[in-house]
Amino acid sequence: MICHSFDDIMRMEKRFRTCFVNCLSGVKSPVLLGSQDDNGCTNLAIMSSVFHVGANPPLLGTIIRPHSVPRHSLENIIETGVYTLNHVTVDFFEDAHQTAARYDKDMSEFDAVGLDPIYRNDFPAPFVKQSPLSLGMSLQERQTLSINQTELIIGKIEWVYARPDLIETDGYISFESLGGVGVVGLDSYHMLQALSRLPYAKPKVVH
Amino acid sequence: MICHSFDDIMRMEKRFRTCFVNCLSGVKSPVLLGSQDDNGCTNLAIMSSVFHVGANPPLLGTIIRPHSVPRHSLENIIETGVYTLNHVTVDFFEDAHQTAARYDKDMSEFDAVGLDPIYRNDFPAPFVKQSPLSLGMSLQERQTLSINQTELIIGKIEWVYARPDLIETDGYISFESLGGVGVVGLDSYHMLQALSRLPYAKPKVVH
C-alpha cells in the first residue's frame, strides 16, 4: 500500500491535492441546484455533496464552499429560503457539468448550458425540466463551519417530482432506470449498474 | 411526473418512507468505519453519508443517526478521538453490509462478518485489511444537529493508504480500477462504469 500522511497531503501541489482529496469521499450523485433571486434571476449550479440527514422529517444537507461558484446559489437560498435539487442523468451530464463555469450573475446557467427551467406548484425556485427526479427544498438551517468556513445548508424536502416508473412498490427509486450517473472527484462521471439489493442485516456470525 | 408533497411523505408508511427518502440523495460510496474503545474492543460499521468538507486541510464529514447501530462507533470516536474509513469493493460488499446488524458491543463486527482488522503506523484505530483505499481520521468537530438530533462528525485525514495502482498522475483515484461500489438507499449496491472525465468548465454559451 502507498501511504500519504496529513503532512504529505499538505505538501502536494494544489491542483493535485484538490483532485486527490476530492476523490477520497468516493462516488456521489451530482445534482443541479436551482435557485433565483427576488427579481426572478435564475441560477443553476452542479453540486456533489448532498447527503442524507433524516427521513422523518425528510432532510438533506449540502456543503457549499466559501468562495466557490455556487456562492450565487447560496445568496439566492438565503434571500428566498428555497431551492431545487435535480438529479443528473447520462443524457445531460455534460451540460450539467458546464454549470460549474464562473458565469456572471446576470447570465443564467440555464441559458448558458441549454437546460430548461420549469416552475411547479407555485414553488418559487426553478426546477430542471430535463431531470426525471427533482426536489423542492426549503432552507431549515445554515451554519458556517468554523473549521474551514464552508457553509452547511440543511433543507427540508417540500416536493418530490419523479417520473412515474422510477418508484418501486417499497419506496425504492431505481437510479439505473433513471439513467443516473455518479461522479468521483470533480470531473469523472460513471454509469451505475445494479448489482443486488441486500436484505436487512440481522445479527449472525457469518464466517 | 408523480408529485409527493412534504405532507404526503410524512403520511407514508414508515418503512416505505425510510426507503424512499434514503434514495433521494442518490448514489454514495459505502465505507466501513473502524473504531475501538480504550480497551481495544473493536467495532466496524457501514456508513454511506461521508461527504467532502475541504481539501486544504483535508476534511471529511459524516452523519450518524442518534439511535442507530453506529452509536458504538460514535462512543468510540468520542473516547479515542480517531477512526478509520475503508472503501468497500465488489469483493466484500456483502460482508460490509452485514456490519449493519445490531451486534452486542462485546461482539466485534470484524469477527462476526469475517473481515480482518489491521493496525498501521501506530494509529490507534483498526483499518480493514481487505480495503484497497483506507483513511485514518482524527475527530475535529462534533455537533448534534438541533433539527433532528443526528450527530455531525468532521474529521481530518491523517493517513491515506491506497493500492499503488489506484492513484493517477494528477491525483485522481480510479474507483473503477478499485472495484468500488455505490449504494442507493440503504441496500441497493451498484457497480461503477467510467463514462468520461470532463475538462474544467470555462464560461461559454454552449447552446
Residues of chain A by 3-state class (helix, strand, coil), percent to 5: 20, 40, 40
pLDDT for A104: 83
Chain centre distance of CA B28: 8
- Measured between CA atoms, how close is A41 to chain B, in angstroms? 17
Chain A residues inside the 8 Å CB shell of B57: 6, 9-10, 148
Chain A residues inside the 8 Å CB shell of B67: none
Q: What ipTM did this prediction achieve?
A: 0.96
Pick A101's closest partner by Cβ from B4, B58, B201: B201
Q: Please give the Cα distance from B20 to B169 (Å, whole number).
A: 40
- CA dihedral (B55, B56, B60, B61) positive or negative: negative
pLDDT 10s digit of each residue in chain B, 207 long? 999 999 999 999 999 999 999 999 999 999 999 999 999 999 999 999 999 999 999 999 999 987 666 688 999 999 999 999 999 999 999 999 999 988 887 888 999 999 999 999 999 999 999 999 999 999 999 999 999 999 999 999 999 999 999 999 999 999 999 999 999 999 999 999 999 999 888 887 665
Closest residue in A to B146 (Cα) is A141
CATH class of B28-191: mainly beta
Confidence of residue A28 (pLDDT cuts 50, 70, 90): very high
- Measured between CA atoms, how close is A157 to chain B, in angstroms? 6
Backbone angles phi, psi at A21, to 5 degrees: -65, -35
- CA dihedral (B150, A173, A29, A64) positive or negative: negative
Here the cell at position B99 is 456490519
Flag if B53 and A150 touch (Cβ within 8 Å).
yes
CA triplet B72, B77, B78: central angle to 5 degrees?
100
DSSP type of residue A89: B
Flag if A191 and B192 touch (Cβ within 8 Å).
yes
Chain A residues inside the 8 Å CB shell of B90: 195
A163 neighbors A132 (Cβ within 8 angstroms): yes
CA triplet B23, A162, A178: central angle to 5 degrees?
65
Q: If you average pLDDT over every residue of chain A, what do you get? A: 94
Q: Please give the Cα distance from B126 to B85 (Å, whole number).
A: 10
Here the cell at position B61 is 464529514
- Written in H, E and C, the secondary structure of chain B is CEEEEHHHHHHCCHHHHHHHHHHCCCEECCEEEEEECCCCCEEEEEECCEEEEEECCEEEEEEECCCCCCHHHHHHHHHHCEEEEEECECCCHHHHHHCCCCCCCCCCHHHHHCCCEECCCCCCCCEECCCCEEEEEEEEEEEECCCCCCEEEEEEEEEEEECHHHECCCCCECHHHHCEEEEECCCEEEEEEEEEECCCCCCCCCC
Pick A203's closest partner by Cβ from B10, B93, B102: B102
Chain B residues inside the 8 Å CB shell of A100: 200-201
- Measured between CA atoms, how close is B153 to chain A, in angstroms? 12
Pick A195's closest partner by Cβ from B140, B190, B205: B190
Flag if B20 and A95 touch (Cβ within 8 Å).
no
Return the domain boundaries, chain A. Answer: 28-191
